[in-house]
Amino acid sequence: MLIEVTKDSIIQDPDFLATKCLKMAPADIERETELMKTAFEWVSDPKNGALGLASTQVGSKWRWFVMKNPNHKRAWLNKEAGGPVVIVINPKYRGNGTKRTCEESCFSIPGKAFKIHRTSSLIATFLKLNPETGETKQITTTYTGSSAQIFQHEFDHLRGLTIADRGE
Ligand SMILES: [Zn+2]
């Protein structure tokens, strides 16, 4: 298992990135905790310039990702889902905003940018992993703006979709 994340170790193989990830049971979460924490630390380190990282990008086939949460200081957001970086397990969401066109890039597709349609707001449910305690908590929250955009980008990875598949 990959235990160090670096820019060069991020997977670019389109076949692996097309993996449809599997829902995690508690035992799966326990086995993946170290890798999720490593991904959390990598996304949290500003010198890496990352907004998120999905399991398939580090060689895993389970339904989790790490996202930056730029809007976490908005008081009306559910505080439980807050913090500047969030580990998201078994996510689902429902869009409730307007469609907008975003320009995105991805560490798995270096040097390219794609235009892609995203909802401006969504309601997400997932298990949030606390990287300090290793505990999980069920969360339902609204994400808007950049947070919603990052959530959708990482969610697509778990369905085996990249911006090269969905964007133009
Ligand atoms: Zn990506």
Residue 54 inside a domain? The answer is yes
Assess if residue 1 is contained within a domain: no
Is 143 contained in some domain? yes
Q: Say what the pLDDT of residue 72 is.
A: 82
Report the separation in Å between the CA atom of 163 and the middle of ligand 1, taken as the mean of its atom positions: 7
Per-10-residue mean pLDDT, the chain, length 168: 76 96 97 96 94 97 96 67 88 96 95 95 95 94 93 98 90
In a domain? residue 2: no
Cβ partners under 8 Å of residue 148, min gap 6 = 97, 118, 119, 120, 121, 122
The pTM score is 0.94
User: What residue numbers bound the domain in which 148 lies?
Assistant: 7-166
CA of 65 to the centre of ligand 1 (A): 10
Instruction: Give domain status of residue 92, yes or no.
Output: yes
Which CATH number fits the domain that encloses residue 12?
Answer: 3.90.45.10
What is the domain count for the chain?
1
